[in-house]
Chains A and B, each alone.
Chain A
Amino acid sequence: MPRNIIDVIDLSVAEIDQLIATAEDIIANPVKYQDACAHKQLATLFFEPSTRTRLSFESAMLALGGSVLGFSEANSSSAAKGETVGDTVHTVSCYADIIAMRHPKEGAPYAAAQFSEVPIINAGDGGHNHPTQTLTDLLTIHREKGRLDGFTIGFCGDLKFGRTVHSLVNALSRYGNINFVLISPEELKLPRYVKEQSLKPKGIPYTQTTDLESVIPQLDILYMTRVQRERFFNEEDYLRLKDSYILTPEKLRSAKPDLSILHPLPRVNEIAVAVDKDPRAAYWKQVKNGKFIRMALILKLLGIEV
């Protein structure tokens, strides 16, 4: 059975630490890795549009000297003819050495993994999991703070449908001495099951609030999220909630000077463009980190040591 990454908790803390160490080494010595995946092929199966994740995977494989194949929307695959996820993945696993897959249905990568002869990486399944974004977030926090424990992190925006938030809360709950501040409208609060699975059993402190400005001074990290139109069945609810939290230079005046602002992107308007010039904005560095951690993950799943 190939090793698959469906959920970030498929990786142990030791494995995540090792991936971060590999990513740091790739950043420091890119030439050392440039032919590590020569003659290996990555298939990117994107049943749902994506800019960052797909291009990041492709860029990662190319930077490792491998090649890529795949599709970027369901309409250009046999899914449009009614082919099941299992059959599509079974077919592609005959051509590629590793598969990165995004699908709008939750659990699709888990289903796919049952039919694949090569490793599957979940590149996002609906509102459920997005483990490589979480690894990207962890690498970014590690690079910004030099550690993955001992800080206060605020999650702001859509905490209900934001899969990146669920995964990151879960991943960080395995590290010590982290204080979670959950900032959202009532309708978009972090689901109860995430709190019950990740925070409560470990006695991890968390506070919930609807007011960003009152808590921003205590934060070491602020993780902003977009209110996602595609997760709503009702357009009216989306329109009512989409402008709930907009981060501006004014709101940042009371924040710590060493705050790190993260965002999984894409953003709509929840971070004003003027914030991009603030040295505390880490979200463009986060994008770059996504490529390096995916390089590390591809190497690991292919069993390649450099």
Chain B
Amino acid sequence: MNIDSISNGVVLDHIQSGKSMEIYQHLHLDRLDCQVAIIKNARSAHMGRKDIIKIDSPMELDLDVLGYIDASITVNIIRDGKLKEKKHLELPQRLVNVIRCKNPRCITTAEPQLDAVFLLSDPERHTYRCAYCETALDKQF
């Protein structure tokens, strides 16, 4: 299967197999006019199988969202057909408006216009706590 290489854009590599559609949705890639290729179950010496997303246009990505969804993803920035930058992700310390608190007693439930802020409380378990009420939310993805 051949997918054209891109000259200016972004390649998201090392996505866990089967997770590419979630990333597509969370990054709102459906709103783009450019070509977007989703490659599922590509062979990987390191992962066995992986997903890849190629975006044929330069764009600013929310690396916090990506890091939260899957910190093992590699972000390759392509310019003039060449790899300009390779970014490795990590779990973000702070998430703003990525997930919402599910505690019905939390002020962000009563006042949804407030920024939903979560802070990383346990990196090993990928647990985040609401900055307002401290309710824990295990990683959803």
A: residues with CB less than 8 A from B are 84-86, 103-108, 110-111, 125-128, 193
Contact = CB atoms under 8 A, between A and B. Distances in A.
18 contacts: A84-B111, A85-B107, A104-B105, A105-B110, A106-B103, A106-B135, A107-B130, A107-B131, A108-B107, A108-B132, A110-B107, A110-B131, A110-B132, A111-B114, A126-B105, A128-B105, A128-B133, A193-B134
Given A128-B133, A128-B134, A193-B136, A107 B113 contact: no
Contact of A105 (B107, B113, B134, B136): B107
* A-B pairs with lowest CB-CB distance, top 6: A107-B132, A106-B133, A107-B133, A105-B107, A108-B107, A107-B107
Contact of B107 (A103, A127, A193): A103
A272 B16 CA distance: 61
Interface residues of B, number: 17
Given A84-B113, A86-B114, A111 B107 contact: yes
Contacts of A126: 105, 133
B107 A106 contact: yes
Contacts of B107: 85, 103, 105-108, 110-111, 125
Interface of B: 103, 105-111, 113-114, 130-136
A193 to B, nearest CB: 6
A86 B135 CA distance: 21
A128 B105 CA distance: 9
Contact of B111 (A85, A125, A127, A193): A85
A111 B132 contact: yes
Contacts of B106: 105-107
B108 A107 contact: yes
B132 A106 contact: yes
A61 B113 CA distance: 34
Contacts of A104: 105
Contacts of A107: 106-108, 130-134
Given A106-B107, A111-B107, A111-B114, 13 more contacts: A105-B106, A105-B107, A106-B135, A107-B130, A108-B132, A110-B107, A110-B131, A111-B132, A125-B107, A125-B133, A127-B105, A193-B134, A193-B136
